Structure 1
């Protein structure tokens, strides 16, 4: 296991100075006690060696996890190709027939514990020379809404940069230089527990001084509430 532990530790050290990764770990650290996200999600040499020191057999735990989760009952396979069906079928059997079978897994959420208590503000010193404001909201799991993608509508409307937008207003105030919004692609952002919608605002020095006055973000959210913006967005786009 020594080589594997060093590989994990090397990956950890590569992202140690990444503001994005540090922020994600802060989210895990501040997650509600008892929630699956409330843990050290990266892992490093210290955490793994400490686990072995407490009597945990890492190799057995890894093998048990593999046997429990890595089987056909936990997987879905979609084949897309321009070749004839019999050729696609042959390739599929050649490549995937050795995947062992297993029971269908219940991938639904297994806890009712919320991610965070709302209304919390945390300050994290950045590695890079910048000022950023990150806001996070939890949405219901949207796995089954993949044909509609409501989170993409929100990302477009809140991340819009044109006249009348939130960013346009913040720039006019001299408080921000850029803004992005949306649900990340990581597993913790798109889990069966919830989707995490995030907004990142790059602040100016003036914006940092007035960060507590940025309630205009919530004004923009409230404007969307109860209005038929989806139909407007659809007609404007198509």
Structure 2
């Protein structure tokens, strides 16, 4: 099993001192190699869920088991290392470092995981169609090309789980299908599980497994 969530609870403090429940998930599972689209309303907790799964945000209670490891039991440095080694993340806004080239952006992520491999980084950029632009900085790349770098970077450490937060929202219609196909094909080739958050019916329609967040997340019932 690539991902298991058990009795996840997450709330935030409101300015007035009250508590706002965001996540109340009894159970969710994603088998290894499975690709699933997750749909939810704006403000419904989708991004918080991805942050909890990746260990960026800790839940108030519950277990987040990724590739057999409950990351809620790891101290922060170990959790950061685990995320770098086992989890790939494609952000809606790319998060590329502007002072570095496409190739350097990928290598920096690999260095943190102790896996710097220039040949593989170059291979990934070739794979996403940027072989001739790997020395360009983000400002010299189109929005669609920046997202391709983001996908390559997420694959660089050969993750077991890929999380994608609205990966097609910042690109034009012409690039949406290309980005989605690239992401799905790459995950399939490497047997990487994919959980993709989207609000687009067109995007979710391309997945065999489509989950409505409201079907298993009931924050109003959180105790």
TM-score of the superposition, structure 2-length normalised? 0.26
Query: Which structure has the larger Rg?
Result: 1
Work out which structure has the larger RCO, using CA pairs closer than 8 Å and 6 or more positions apart in sequence.
2
Q: Which has the higher strand share?
A: 2
